[in-house]
Chain A
């Protein structure tokens, strides 16, 4: 019969769920809790054909409510989660893991560790194999907490070391933490994924114990193994390691080059440009120019005095040497349509002058070279600067006027 409006259990609970959802979206936690009490009886009905069953709903909704409700406590939360763990064996490890995250967020490190250990020892027939991924994560996080203990013990030792007291038991604990941590961290980073946190800790451990080769190997794998997802941080870590070990400029440059390809706006690009500008090889200097222009394509760098000063320095140097003007021409070609509005508008000239004289100085130099002395930005800033009788602006005006023809050649 076509009684679709008939109210039955399923519809009633769907309705209930929509009320819970509305309440949660409006942050009305009391109301959400109220409707949840009416929803929980769906646990007694089987929903095995649905994608998300009531047990998962209740877990997720209940967690949200308990997180935000003003009257809920950690104890209540823990009690709730323990019940959730018994509800769905297929989700057991996931629930454990999220519980651990919650505990960590509330600073309950020891409880988190206990829970992780407990979860690690869980076995349930074929479910153990099916939930293998979660298990690996649990082990990894336990490794992380072991690292954290190691770190604490290390700082205690270092303190005492200064005082001249050697604490043997702490040292032993420290080494034991190291071993436990290393085993688990090593395992997780073998699996393709984004493991920044684990990798950093693992490398820290390795470096402390002097295993630089292994550290280098690990980061190389992390950065260059194609099975791993492209991750700019991997390159950053590798670069930092190489820098720490005083590796050659060549290897530093190759590490940063990839970063430039992936994330042209990365903050390390400033260092990169600085490094490249100093190079004797023209190819490197050329790359440097490309790098700094690319950085300033991004809005985040618009007001960075450092970035502009790098560009200004390099452009100035090229203009003075009168060599490689074509480099500037190449870089400017694809930007001359939109950089003027983006960086060198009259409005920006006024604002920069008011807010940050150094910024306006650097930008004016670049503008003057790229667009000529008659461009809006340069005219305004240099005029203001000369009016204010600031020396460097007078110098700037002279410089740009002198090299004006350059503009004509680069446009």
Chain B
């Protein structure tokens, strides 16, 4: 394999292999007559299964590198994430059984291991292009820049990579373009039917495992822990052993420079569940944490709302049947049912309950609040009646403070990892110099900033806002009673509010535009917007997602009325 002769045309030593197994010169594309022994495509099978199942025996080269495949890298990362989750209190089963099995299943289904003949696409991928140019033409291994142009690029790899001129020696089965053996494969645009592994997908795996075990951790919580640094994600590759060298295209795969979004992770999870042909997930019953009744308790507490509201949320849940086992449990592959986002659903239920009681049209809730205040003056019963106004003031203040902190945190994220990375040996020195300068500047200005740079991550906590009943300043509303805004009718307490306004009369087609409704805060009452903002902060998602769920719930709730209205309209037209 060590073909070291100089090229006849350009005298360079930079050889590659054509599909026909001939050597050709990369600099001037001069094809020689020299062929190499038949490439044994099976070696990939053997070495992959070998390395994954045995784990530690790697073929080491002289310079302390070893061959490694991208999926091994991901495996390591998943392991670390599972360990972190265990440290947060998730049961060890997750790491040892569930996640492991999911991962093995994935490897098998994507034909990367545990199968007889993996797709021998390594060489073919390197030599074929996905572009629409003449397929029959003599395939040449594409240049690195070409590969990059095919991939969905996020960032400016092209400018940092100076591969076009690099002349590194081709070593045994290690691609020139990446530290891993098959890095280039991952960079090429997604082929149909394949579910290529990405960093956000690691979180999809984690969430899927959590869901399978019905662990008390929602997706929004998981993502929050990731952002807060309790679960490795950004720069997770730091945990790779020394021998697994990362460079070139590997960086594109493992170095992400953005935080994953809820939708993205959730959708990928669903795709993954279907891809793995998983059966119906374990039932989500009403004693599960993920059941809306349970989650509502948590969110009501965090939103500083009275416990009594729980009755109302349960009623809503019951009325529209979203507490049913069949509704809540995930059945992969079933495209017809709308997939449940437990956390968003629970938040939306609370919003609807608030709308039912307080209307939230920027008028009525304040009137009710005044009424409650009046009643409070004459209140002999001991526990206070809930006043919307007071609640709003207290919660808004805290929300604003926390939101401000969060926004500042966003500006202070440190993306670069301790271990400097380089695309090629060539720009190593430049990278190191830059790194040194960055460190110097950080020190210099750090001293001038007057405070110690925060080194500690906040302790992981399930609650972001907490309210204590012991506070004498009356800032905790959990124990307040809703009687102040309810009336008695036939021995039952009902809402005084007879009205309701729908967020939207007609739902959009989710499959077409991605949303059930389109939320713009200027179109809706401020109180409604505030409530959305509150839950948006708690769940770390955009308000529009909660709005979508609210629309969905409302349409279920008022289904009959809407249906009647539509029917009436059609009758009229006749």
Contacts and interface: CB of A to CB of B under 8 A. Distances in A.
Contacts of B444: 76, 79-80
Given A3-B261, A40-B441, A46 B448 contact: no
A36 B263 CA distance: 32
B574 interface: no
Contact of A65 (B159, B263, B445): B445
B264 interface: yes
Most chain A beta carbons < 10 A, residue from B412, B434, B542: B412
Interface stretch (B82-90, B298-306, B413-421): B413-421
Contacts of B440: 83
A69 interface: yes
B448 A69 contact: yes
Given A43-B434, A76-B444, A83-B440, A35 B415 contact: no
Interface residues of A, number: 44
B442 A40 contact: yes
B438 interface: yes
Nearest to A69: B448
A46 B159 contact: yes
Interface stretch (A4-12, A131-139, A195-203): A4-12
Contacts of A49: 156, 159
Interface string A2-35: 1101111110100110110000000001110111
A19 B450 CA distance: 17
A126 interface: no
Given A12-B410, A16-B411, A33-B448, A44 B259 contact: no
A71 interface: yes
A12 B449 contact: no
B437 A30 contact: no
Contact of A40 (B258, B410, B438, B450): B438
B408 interface: yes
Contact of A41 (B160, B411, B438, B451): B438
A72 interface: yes
B442 A12 contact: no
B435 A48 contact: no
A19 B411 contact: yes
A306 B448 CA distance: 54
Nearest to B453: A37
B31 interface: no
A43 B437 contact: yes
B120 interface: no
B257 A8 contact: yes
A188 B483 CA distance: 86
Given A38-B411, A41-B415, A33 B449 contact: yes
Contacts of A86: 437
Contact of A48 (B154, B159, B408): B159
Contact of B259 (A6, A33, A36, A72): A6
Contacts of B199: none
A62 B441 contact: yes
Nearest to B263: A3
A299 interface: no
A35 B258 CA distance: 20
A38 B414 contact: yes
Contacts of A18: 411
Nearest to A20: B411
B431 interface: yes
A29 B416 CA distance: 25
Given A6-B258, A9-B258, A83 B448 contact: no
Nearest to A2: B514
Given A12-B411, A16-B411, A38-B411, A44 B416 contact: yes
B446 interface: yes
A325 interface: no
Contacts of A37: 441-442, 445-446, 449, 453
Contacts of B257: 8-10
Interface in B117-167: 154-156, 159-160
A71 B514 CA distance: 54
Contacts of B159: 46, 48-49
Contacts of B448: 29-30, 33, 65-66, 69, 71-72
Contact of B441 (A16, A31, A58): A58
Interface in A44-72: 44-46, 48-49, 58, 62, 65-66, 69, 71-72
Given A9-B415, A45-B156, 6 more contacts: A5-B261, A18-B411, A30-B449, A38-B413, A66-B448, A72-B448
Interface of A: 1-3, 5-10, 12, 15-16, 18-19, 29-31, 33-38, 40-41, 43-46, 48-49, 58, 62, 65-66, 69, 71-72, 76, 79-80, 83, 86-87
15 contacts: A3-B261, A3-B264, A15-B410, A15-B411, A33-B446, A34-B450, A37-B441, A38-B414, A40-B445, A41-B416, A43-B434, A46-B156, A58-B441, A79-B444, A83-B441
